Amino acid sequence: MSAPGAYLRLLRIGWVLMREGVISALPAEDLPPPARAFHGFAGLLARRRTKREDRSGRLARAIERLGPSYVKIGQFLATRPDVVGAGFAEDLAFLQDRMATFPVEEARAVVEASLGRPISDLYLHFGEPIAAASIAQVHPAIVLRNGVEEKVAVKVVRPGVRQRFARDLEAMYLVARLQERFVAYTRRLRPVEVTRTLEQTTKIEMDLRLEAAALSELGENSAEDPGFRVPRVDWERTGRDVVTMEWIDGTKMSDVEGLRRAGHDLDALADTLIQSFLRHTLRDGFFHADMHQGNLFVDPRGMVVAVDFGIVGRLGVKERRFLAEILYGFITRDYRRVADVHFEAGYVSGNHDVASFAQAIRAIGEPIHGQPAETISMAKLLTLLFEVTELFDMETRPELVMLQKTMVVVEGVARTLNPRFNMWKASEPVVGGWIRDNLGPKRVLSDMKEGLHAALRLAEAAPEIARKTEKFSRDLTTMAENGLRFDAETAEAIGRSEARHSRSGRVALWVIALALAVIAWRMF
């Protein structure tokens, strides 16, 4: 897409935000006079009905009016409070991924094109859509498996959504580049890199084979976990634009009264939810990063079932140890250790003072120890921690921000089930066990085992390394004694290449000079 096209899309975004009252709802106290004047002008252009809504309602309406691509962008930015601010992230979290459905005939055509088979060969019945989101919609269907009819859910990508998203993303890149260039204090947040992450995660989400793979991986990881499971994938009926999975008959976690009527223990469900999330995070380093109430069900057996794996997060071993040591440090009030972990991980630059950083950490931790355990929020703790690290120039860590945001959502769901939910008590069996296994004597044994494996691999490669080192030494000696020599053909080829590059360089300089002259003439 051309730069003028991106500017036009940006102007459309600004117009919609003004008309829906989003800009006029922003605080204007700290704005410079020109920006304050524009803020007042935007208020005059806002629709009257928007003035009766709060900012989150206005923002949701504006983004839904802009289209499915912007709903997805808004949902992604809701996971990045470090970029858009906590207030906007909270507003964006209310975005409803409910879009108008597209016709079942189009869905059938997408399925047949993706799987290369007639719809009648794949399903005994393929029903009307029951839910539609920004990227795909879901249909109920019936398949015949081992002579038995089985109900399945079929998720189908919206026709043309990739092309629309690519066009809309160009405007996002433009905003990010302008932000990096003109708003110096936001460069730490790497807005262009954030946009690139958005592009990558959405491309992954649009390939339903990858969502199926995430379902499969988490299913294997959690096969023995108590009280938690995910739907089974039907790989025969899964492709880039369609994924078929087990149909879940259950009650949504958003329906608290329905869960209570079904006889489920809400306190136990809250514990199971947070413990499952922490197992996936600490044990596996792979977690569902969109665990809001609409993506969580409770089946008739009382099992928590997670669906919609379009957004997932991963943590490496270093990040998992970092997270566990931080939590352990706060629990034991060892703030110097929490500070040391940040420096050891390279998250905070070594030019800062460790003692000063530990003092800032203490300012977060000490107030917590005077509160009742059920009022302490682990997610809030991490939020405060990231706010403090900003003072010490800690660069944005997208994987940790996604973890923190997901933890806020999961903890919020748990508290809707049990208002007196004790996060620390529920987490202790998982976090405590992981700390004992990975930060105590078992960790030393594990590190020794990994070191031994590395040493064995090095020993196996030693003869080849020695041979190559000996040859390299001989070549260096020969070069030192005789100089670096080329044969006649090689020297001639180098000469031709240099001449060609010199001519190309001169031509390029003339083209650039001519272009600058034309631009200057048009301007003046």
**Which residues are tagged catalytic?**
290
Three-state DSSP class for residue 412: helix
Residue listed under structure tokens 């529920």: 426
Query: CA 245, CA 231: separation in Å to the nearest integer?
Result: 6
* Nearest-angstrom CA–CA distance, 299 and 294: 14
**How many CB atoms neighbour CB 258 within 10 A?**
14
All residues at 6 or more sequence positions from 70 whose CB lies less than 8 Å from its CB, including other chains: 13, 63, 168
Alpha-carbon torsion (411, 414, 419, 424), positive or negative: negative
Is 81 buried (19+), middle (13-18) or exposed (0-12) by CB count in 10 A?
buried
Task: Spell out where 303-435 has E strands.
Answer: 304-306, 312-314
Q: How far is it, in rounded angstroms, from Cα 185 to Cα 169?
A: 23
Report the distance separating Cα 174 and Cα 7, nearest Å.
8
Report yes or no: 310 and 290 within 8 Å, Cβ to Cβ. Answer: yes
> Tokens 């090095």 belong to which residue?
458
